[in-house]
Copies of this chain bind each other. A is one copy, B any other.
Amino acid sequence: MSKEITSREEDYAQWYNDLVIKGGLAENAAVRGCMVIKPYGFGLWENMRDQLDRMFKETGHVNAYFPLFIPKSFLSKEAAHVEGFAKECAVVTHYRLKNDPNGKGVVVDPEAKLEEELIIRPTSETIIWNTYKDWIQSYRDLPLLINQWANVVRWEMRTRLFLRTAEFLWQEGHTAHATRDEAIEEARKMLDVYADFVENFMALPVIKGVKTPSERFAGAEDTYCIEALMQDGKALQAGTSHFLGQNFAKAFDVKFLTRENKQEFVWATSWGVSTRLVGALVMAHSDDQGLILPPKIAPLQVVIVPIFKGDEQRGFIENAVLPIIKGLKELGITVKFDDSDNARPGWKFAEYEMKGVPVRIAIGQRDIENNVVEVARRDTKEKISVSMNGLPYYIKTLLDEIQQHMYNKALAYRDAHITSVDTWADFEEVLDNKGGFISAHWDGSAETEEAIKEKTKATIRCIPLQSIEEKGVCILTGKPSSQRVLFARAY
């Protein structure tokens, strides 16, 4: 084995950290709470980003770029927003350094103090709605469908690579609409786009729902979300889409002239997913040998490892492999031929398993004489001898199969971990021993929600969009309830 990974059984958190570090995805930076996204991890993010970007454009959105800095006073303009966001922020107070009079490096120049402090954006509603004020005059300017890819900063005290870092990369959509219904439709549509992406590209099933008032985005009237389940039975919020009502339009005085010649406030949405999705991907699919990446977004889909002794065999194998590489590339498959001689095949096998490359092809001189190669799937670890005739098509089909199999496996796990309970005793029992989502009745009050959270650390992940009305009584208080909600401990 090339590198040791802590097993999930032994220490799930350490297993996750080992995968991220040893799989070459990211590492902690010299700056507290920040990470360096390494080339392999960034390649993965690029594939995710590019696919999402295509989906945003297909649904009529365009990209733009707004400033990194937000004047401090902007944060205070929307009352709920400042409560939720203004606290743990990076604050720029000065704009110049000078040579240390004592001769040791540089110091902040006290003369260069900003009149108003600038906040590094934790999210951009305020600066964007301040801008939209000038862009929107009439119903003809609506809808405004804009997305931004950007870095944001939230000064988290306890950070974990990808899952929670002070600086992270994300996209934030900010749209403006003439009517309430149209804005709600947009927020729901983007939730569907996220669900489509996470399920069909990340091979990770999600539950669509709406947050309770306590879990809403600061400044939203409704927060829609997709929730996924990790292998340790904890939930992870994979994306959110907010219906913001007219809150930001009122805070920044953004009105438009209707067709009926009246001045009205604009309706808004915002929606975002971040590099956190990379963490979800790692935790949902991987095993104790390393990462398992879905073919549709894997930076490298196929690796070919030659088994050779000496240069003559190497040359012989290379000749046989070149047409296979060509064939794979023609089918749009990314492939690497690793004929480096500084590591044995066994070491390479372990290394590419660690990195989660979906398909490995091993090929030696005798294989070529028999017109076969050995194909190994990363997800099931099955190995099979496959004819070299039509190999690229075989691989293409196999990649689709792996993608589907990964989804099915995650779905089966997820579905086996949604438990309906009707008593408090069962609730605690399932939470502590089985984990996963618990579907239970709740009386609808924030106090009960908070009490359950304090007792168990479980939160209401969402009120599922597809839930059915069902009369029952709250598991904690016994008060009446009209539908079940999903509880879980969560990342």
Interface residues of A (CB under 8 A from B): 27, 29-31, 34-39, 42-43, 45-46, 62-76, 82, 86-98, 104-106, 108, 117-120, 127, 130-131, 134, 140, 146, 150-151, 153, 155, 167, 169, 342
Knowing A76-B106, A105-B76, A106-B72 are in contact, say whether A66-B29 is a contact too (CB < 8 A).
yes
In the bound assembly, the distance between CA atoms of A89 and B114 in angstroms comes to 12
Contact status B93-A94, CB under 8 Å? yes
Our pick among B30, B43, B150 for the contact of A63 (Cβ within 8 Å) is: B43
Q: Give the Cβ gap from A84 to chain B, nearest Cβ, in Å.
A: 12
Our pick among B36, B73, B92 for the contact of A90 (Cβ within 8 Å) is: B92
Chain B residues whose CB sits within 8 angstroms of the CB of A37 once the complex forms: 64-65
Knowing A30-B130, A30-B131, A92-B90 are in contact, say whether A97-B68 is a contact too (CB < 8 A).
no
**Protomer copies:** 2
Q: Give the Cβ gap from A332 to chain B, nearest Cβ, in Å.
A: 16
Contact status A89-B93, CB under 8 Å? no
Chain B residues whose CB sits within 8 angstroms of the CB of A65 once the complex forms: 36-37, 42, 45, 169
Closest to A134 in B: B27
Contact status B342-A140, CB under 8 Å? yes
Among all A-B residue pairs, the 3 with the closest Cβ atoms: A76-B105, A34-B67, A39-B62
Contact status A97-B92, CB under 8 Å? no
In the bound assembly, the distance between CA atoms of A313 and B369 in angstroms comes to 70
Contact status B88-A95, CB under 8 Å? yes
Knowing A65-B42, A90-B118 are in contact, say whether A71-B31 is a contact too (CB < 8 A).
yes
In the bound assembly, the distance between CA atoms of A404 and B139 in angstroms comes to 41
Contact status B62-A42, CB under 8 Å? yes
**Main SS of the interface on chain A?**
mixed
Closest to A342 in B: B140
Our pick among B71, B76, B98, B127 for the contact of A87 (Cβ within 8 Å) is: B98
In the bound assembly, the distance between CA atoms of A34 and B120 in angstroms comes to 13
Of A35, A63, A169, which is in contact with the most chain B CB atoms at under 10 Å from its CB? A63
Our pick among B46, B73, B127 for the contact of A29 (Cβ within 8 Å) is: B127
Closest to A29 in B: B67
Our pick among B67, B89, B140 for the contact of A36 (Cβ within 8 Å) is: B67
Chain B residues whose CB sits within 8 angstroms of the CB of A74 once the complex forms: 30
Chain B residues whose CB sits within 8 angstroms of the CB of A120 once the complex forms: 68, 92, 120
Chain B residues whose CB sits within 8 angstroms of the CB of A31 once the complex forms: 67, 69-71, 118, 127
Closest to A138 in B: B342
Chain B residues whose CB sits within 8 angstroms of the CB of A104 once the complex forms: 76
Chain B residues whose CB sits within 8 angstroms of the CB of A35 once the complex forms: 67
Contact status A46-B63, CB under 8 Å? yes
In the bound assembly, the distance between CA atoms of A310 and B127 in angstroms comes to 42
24 sample A-B contacts, Cβ–Cβ < 8 Å, listed by A number: A27-B134, A29-B127, A30-B127, A31-B127, A34-B68, A34-B69, A36-B67, A37-B65, A38-B64, A39-B62, A43-B62, A72-B108, A73-B105, A87-B97, A88-B95, A88-B96, A89-B95, A89-B96, A91-B95, A92-B93, A92-B120, A93-B93, A120-B120, A140-B342
Q: Give the Cβ gap from A388 to chain B, nearest Cβ, in Å.
A: 29
Known: A75-B106, A90-B95, A95-B155; 12 extra A-B contacts, CB below 8 A, are A27-B134, A29-B67, A29-B131, A30-B74, A31-B69, A34-B69, A42-B63, A42-B65, A67-B167, A72-B108, A76-B104, A140-B342
Our pick among B86, B91, B105 for the contact of A92 (Cβ within 8 Å) is: B91
Our pick among B94, B146, B153 for the contact of A39 (Cβ within 8 Å) is: B146
Chain B residues whose CB sits within 8 angstroms of the CB of A89 once the complex forms: 95-97
In the bound assembly, the distance between CA atoms of A130 and B319 in angstroms comes to 42
Closest to A157 in B: B95
Our pick among B27, B91, B96, B151 for the contact of A97 (Cβ within 8 Å) is: B91
